[in-house]
Structure 1
Amino acid sequence: MEKVTMLIINRYILRSFFRLFALALATFVGLYLLIDFFERVDNFIEHGASASLYLAYFLNKMPLIITQVTPLACLMAVFMTLGGMARNGELTAMHAGGFSLAAISAPLLRMGLLFSLILLTANEFVVPDTVKQARHVLATEVKGGPSVTYKRDRIWLRHQKNILNIRAANPDRQTLEGITMLSFDDGFRVRERLDAAGATFAGNLWRCRDVVGRTFDPDSGSLLTEQRFPEKAMALPVTPEDFKVPGSKRNEDLSISELKRLANKLQQEGYNSTRFHVDMHARIASPFACLVMAFLGIPFAIRKGRGVSLASGIALSIGIGATYFIMHAALLAFGYTGTFSPLVAAWGANILFLMVAAWLFLQGDA
């Protein structure tokens, strides 16, 4: 009899949760799309884009948007579900019937875990392709830019009589890794080769480290001179802006498995792979914010639910969610600089908020 009663209660809780979750998700997605629309509408109008391109762009943005706002929607749904039950005295009645807070909360936590696994799968198989397609629509079909095939880990550029090979480029941090530049004579014979482990852009020059310069006899191809420099300023025929081309592979365009392969490959070859490792772990950790938010929403609902109105509940949920995302972004920034390890940077916010939720949960259950 108790199992049947618990099953009925679980169905009642989940029915209320899904109703509120759908409403919160639709609201947040709608707000996100509205803001993005006003940011992009000038580009569409300026280039006379058709309505189908508007639709294609925003439809392809939807998976990314949904993965980003689902944890916040999950937090709000849990908070409002249990808060409403506390306000109506339903939680008191359940406690009087012998059901603990853990038993009442179990179906909500299971939903948080389920949503986390769904988002993790989407981050691997859905989001990277749709992000690339959305960027292609905006950059190529709307703005009329070139369709570029660009490999982040193997970049070849030709400039006058030089051929430049770059192992990896990070335009946001204005750095290059694994540089080789070949200079040719009029007969397309190699006369000079420069190798550098990496470079940072500063003052219109690239400050290269661990530079090896070699000159060759164009006729015989034999080595004439070899010089080594710990650091050297070089005028490479590129700037960081040259790598911000339409269609370029940013880390958000890569799946988790692609990020892992690229990070391991760069590390094995001796290049700086920190950013790729951080992004790989962040792509895995971020979906589990749904579980963390569901857990965190439970004690807040129990403590605040009775005296909180709908508007106050929404504001409190957004405040908690914003605090989480700010902390997560800050930890990732520390991870990119190498201050924290990739694991700590990616999972730190989840662990801290989970600890806070556990402490509040135990306090409320005591």
Structure 2
Amino acid sequence: MLQRFRRHPFRFSLDWLPLMDRWLIAELVGPLLFGIAAFTAVSLSVGVVFELVRKVAEAGLPLSAAMQVLGLRLPGFLVLSFPMATLMATLLAYSRLSGNSELTALRSVGVSTKRMVAPAVALAVAMSLLTFVFNDVIVPRTNLSASITLDQALGKAIAAERGRHTLYSRFGRISQPDGESVRGMTQLFYAQEFSDGEMKDVTLIDFSRTGQRQMLMAKTGRWNEAKAMWEFRNGRIVSVDEANDTTTSANFDRYFYPLSRDVEEVAKLPTDANLMTVGQARRAERLLLAANNKKEARRLRVRIQEKFAFPAICLVFGLIGSSLGVRPNSRTSRSQGFGISVLLIFVYYLMSFIFSSLGITGTLSPLMAAWLPVGIGLAGGLVLLRQASR
């Protein structure tokens, strides 16, 4: 084998696999490619093509830009089609082999059902790894590029860093009248819009001293690197002294305020976890926890776990599809396989949505919310495999 590799260093060969495994994998590849093409075409048409056609006709989107956006959005829909195609491929391939009595011939020579489905499980594991790579490395970048390309083609202003309704709360020690301090919220920051490093329509409330409140309102705010503080412009400061029941206010053209730069980092966070890699999502979670935004941090923890759990759906569907197809005298056409696949996929994704919602609300831990559907699916697949082995 080593000599053959030296003669053909770029030639991929499966000669090291047993003949039966090579045969079964070859039977699986055709339906797998068909499933990827079919499911991608359907989901892409519903999710992108109709919208792009409308923008070309009504908003004057150039056809070349529409094609570019379509190509950039393609990886995101490929990721969705991989699990569905795995289910359809295993179900169709093993159903055809069972209907043609080829699996019966294997049983007659002592090959167990578990041994027959081993190549399907191995292919499903490979599809899980491919799905994770696409979902974490390729899709976030291409989806972001697609959004920027579409906005540029439609003549919208593009900012590399843009956000709306930035809310940041800072916690620390609050001074008490007796000289001691307690932990609590010290500042609450809100900006209506963030664009190109500049906050717009800013409101900042200071709670750092008991009995006193200070509210800062400004048109703009920007981080000043030299002073390591926020520089606010064209605003007003209102101070309320509860002990003396007095209120003072002053306008300013320029005002420096000592607040963490984490405000800017929070504003840069994408609102959609699908636009973030696992590393970016973990960093965003730390920032949200630092800002004491526990609800959004919990939601992001669920999404992080789902980024790992989602590729495992390929393994679940591969086990279920092969277990259903390997049953004796099982015969399923492509149309029947497509229909069964859609039904199973709907049930699984409905279950995933329910568990995900429970995780976001705090009823379930993020780990359980993301992985329980996978565990239930694998358990169901093993039950089906056991029944098929009888």
Quickly name the TM-score band, shorter chain normalised. Answer: 0.7 to 0.9
Deviation for aligned residue 1:34: 1.9
Paired residues of 1:79 and 1:305 also in contact (CA < 8 A): no
- Give the superposition deviation at 1:44: 2.3
Trace 1:339-358 onto structure 2 (pairs within 5 A).
339-358=363-382
**1:163 maps onto 2:174 in alignment:** no
Mean CA deviation greater in 336-345 or 151-160:
151-160
Matched to 1:7, the amino acid is P
Give the match's secondary structure for 2:110. Answer: coil
Which whole-Å deviations, capped at 9, do the CAs of 1:306-347 have from their partners, x for residues lacking one?
A: 243332222112211121112112221222222221112111
- Decide which of 336, 352, 358 is 1:334's aligned counterpart: 358
1-side partners of 2:32 and 2:204: how far apart? 50
**Superimposed CA distance per residue, residues 251-296 of structure 1 (whole angstroms, 9 cap, x where no aligned partner):** 2111111111211332244221111111111111101100110011
Structure 2 Cα separation of the partners of residues 116 and 41 of structure 1:
33
- Size of the alignment, in residue pairs? 305
* Separation (CA, whole Å) in 2 of partners of 1:216 and 1:123: 54
Residues 94-243 of structure 1: pairs in structure 2 closer than 5 A:
94-138=106-150, 140-148=151-159, 149-150=161-162, 156-157=191-192, 163-164=202-203, 182-183=216-217, 191-192=237-238, 218=250
Q: SS where residue 162 of structure 2 aligns? A: coil
Q: Name 2:338's counterpart in structure 1.
A: 314
Select 1:252's aligned residue among 262, 274, 285.
274
Q: Structure 1: how far apart are the matches of 2:350 and 2:43?
A: 17
Aligned to 1:198: none
Q: 2:98–2:327: 8 Å Cα contact kept in structure 1? A: no
Residues of 2 paired with 1:79 and 1:316: CA distance?
9
Residues 80, 30 of structure 1: alpha-carbon distance in 2 compared, 3 angstrom cutoff: same
Counterpart position of 1:240: none
Does residue 18 of the first structure (1) align with residue 29 of the second (2)? yes
| 1:284 paired residue number | 308
Give the structure with higher Rg (CA): 2
Moved more, 302-311 or 45-54: 302-311
Alpha-carbon distance in structure 2 between the residues aligned to 1:193 and 1:24: 65
Matched, 1:270 2:292: yes
1:177 equivalent in structure 2: none
Contact 1:161 1:183 (C-alpha < 8 Å) held by counterparts: no
TM-score of the two chains, using structure 1 as the length reference:
0.74
* TM-score where L is the length of structure 2: 0.70
Distance in 2 between the 1:192 and 1:41 partners?
52
Distance 1:347 1:268 in 2: 27
Q: How does 1:45-56 map to 2 (within 5 A)?
A: 45-56=57-68
Shift of 1:81: 0.8
Do the aligned partners of residues 357 and 22 (structure 1) sit closer, same or farther apart at CA in structure 2, a change above 3 Å counting?
Answer: same
SS of the residue aligned with 1:126?
A: helix
Aligned-residue RMSD, C-alpha: 3.4
CA contact (8 A) 2:95 2:326 kept: yes
1:23-102 paired onto structure 2 within 5 Å: 23-35=34-46, 36-102=48-114
Q: Quick one: percent identity of the two aligned structures?
A: 23
